[in-house]
């Protein structure tokens, strides 16, 4: 089981969209995937039209069994229509609601999340955490559980600030993880989102990203209306517009993730 976290301490940069599509993409390719909505907004939950209760808080604080909180996403909501029944993969969501913000004050140690998800290490291939932009003790607990991080960012100043803050916090956890014999968290990628290639501002900022992070920067994801349609339809772009260029872009993201997960350090 690999645990992957989507992080940027700036809101509205595309964490949720990326989380839903990367998890759905791997599920379509036959993997057993859990998407944990760790943002009190619960948007990864409604992205698939699921109910927000019971959720992450119940799992971590009330010790609800996984059977109670894991919500399977109906195949027609995430899978490619004509291939809907051809996959052995599963996509399950741990929903989130306003209670999620109280988790931090109710957990006794930083290993709570790791311990809970470790129970499923033989049953599940991937766990994705879609996090909230505001750092909290819950983030610490997620840092202790995470194998790899993906940083979505807009090519804009404030997103860069959020990105820098996030990277600083990640580094602060390195010594703590070492102390407990956990490997360093792998940075799987920095993903430029909502990219407007015609503007000089975005072009310049993309170059800055590439200068700083080199090959860690994935192919930029252009801004498209279809991403908002996908949200309205409570589906993935694979399900709503399978033949579109945007679906192709999304598959490219999944490819890049798979390349980097399995690549040897």
Partner 1 sequence: MSSRERRRKIQTEDNLLSANPNTLDPKTADAIGFGLGDLALEIAAADNDFQAIEAVSIQEIHPNSIQPRYSIPHDLTDIFALHPGNIVDIFERWIIEVQLETGQKDFDILPYLQGQATSRGARAESDAPDQSAADQPLFGKETALMKIVDLAASIRRDGLSNPISLVRHADHYEIETGERRWLAYHILYWKFGDGDRRSDGSVVNWSRIPARVVNQVDVWRQASENNARDNLNAISRARQLSLLLMDLHGWDNFVKIDACENEQAFYAQVADGAAWRIPRGQGERLLNAMGLSDAGQLRQYRALLRLPADLWRRGDDENLTEGELRKMKAALDNVTRVTIQKSKSKKDAVARLAADATQWRNKLRKEINSLDNNNKPKIRRLIEAEIRQLMRLIADIDESHT
- With binding defined as CB under 8 A, does residue 20 bind partner 1? no
- With binding defined as CB under 8 A, does residue 165 bind partner 1? no
* Of 49, 98, 184, 196, the one binding partner 1 by CB under 8 A: 49
Identify the DSSP state of 133. Answer: S
Q: How is 4-36 classified by DSSP, letter by letter?
A: EEE--SSSSSSHHHHHHHHHHHHHHTT-EEEEE
What is the chain's alpha carbon radius of gyration, rounded to the nearest angstrom?
A: 17
- With binding defined as CB under 8 A, does residue 243 bind partner 1? yes
**Cα–Cα distance measured from residue 56 to residue 63, given in angstroms and rounded to the nearest whole number:** 10
- With binding defined as CB under 8 A, does residue 119 bind partner 1? yes
Question: For residues 63-102, which are near partner 1 according to CB under 8 A?
Answer: 63, 65-67, 70-75, 90
* Of 2, 10, 32, 154, the one binding partner 1 by CB under 8 A: 32
Phi, psi of 187 (to 5 degrees): -85, 115
Question: For residues 214-233, which are near partner 1 according to CB under 8 A?
Answer: 226, 229, 232-233
Q: How far is CA 225 from CA 69, 123, 179, in A?
A: 32, 37, 46
Q: How far is the CB of 229 from partner 1 (least distance, A)?
A: 6
Cis before 216? omega within 30: no
- With binding defined as CB under 8 A, does residue 139 bind partner 1? no
Tokens of 157: 């100043």
- With binding defined as CB under 8 A, does residue 175 bind partner 1? no
- With binding defined as CB under 8 A, does residue 171 bind partner 1? no
The one segment of 18-26, 45-53, 191-199, 205-213 that binds partner 1 by CB under 8 A = 45-53
Burial class (CB in 10 A: 0-12, 13-18, 19+), 82: exposed
Total residues contacting partner 1 by CB under 8 A comes to: 42
Q: Which residues lie near partner 1 (CB under 8 A)?
A: 32, 46, 48-54, 63, 65-67, 70-75, 90, 104-105, 108-111, 119-120, 122-123, 137, 226, 229, 232-235, 240-244
């Amino acid at each position: 089981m690999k645990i992957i976290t989507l992080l940027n301490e700036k809101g509205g940069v595309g964490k949720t969209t990326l989380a839903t599509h990367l998890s759905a993409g791997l599920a379509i390719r036959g993997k057993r995937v859990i998407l944990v909505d760790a943002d009190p907004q619960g948007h990864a939950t409604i992205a698939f039209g699921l109910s927000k209760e019971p959720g992450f808080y119940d799992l971590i604080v009330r010790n609800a069994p996984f059977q109670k909180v894991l919500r399977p996403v109906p195949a027609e909501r995430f899978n490619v229509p004509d291939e809907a029944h051809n996959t052995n993969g599963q996509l399950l969501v741990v929903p989130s609601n306003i209670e999620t913000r109280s988790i931090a004050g109710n957990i006794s140690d930083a290993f709570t999340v790791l311990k809970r998800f470790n129970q499923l290490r033989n049953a599940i291939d991937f766990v994705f955490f879609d996090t909230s932009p505001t750092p909290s003790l819950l983030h610490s607990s997620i840092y202790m559980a995470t194998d790899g991080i993906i940083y979505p960012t807009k090519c804009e100043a404030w997103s860069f600030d959020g990105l820098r803050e996030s990277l600083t916090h990640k580094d602060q956890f390195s010594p703590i993880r070492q102390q407990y014999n956990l490997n360093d968290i792998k940075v799987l990628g920095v993903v430029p989102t909502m990219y407007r290639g015609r503007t000089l501002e975005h072009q310049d900022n993309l170059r800055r990203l590439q200068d700083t992070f080199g090959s860690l920067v994935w192919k930029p994801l252009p801004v498209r209306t279809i991403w908002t349609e996908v949200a309205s339809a409570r589906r993935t772009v694979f399900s709503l517009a399978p033949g579109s260029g945007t679906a192709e872009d999304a598959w490219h993201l999944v490819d890049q993730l798979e390349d980097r997960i399995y690549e040897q350090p």
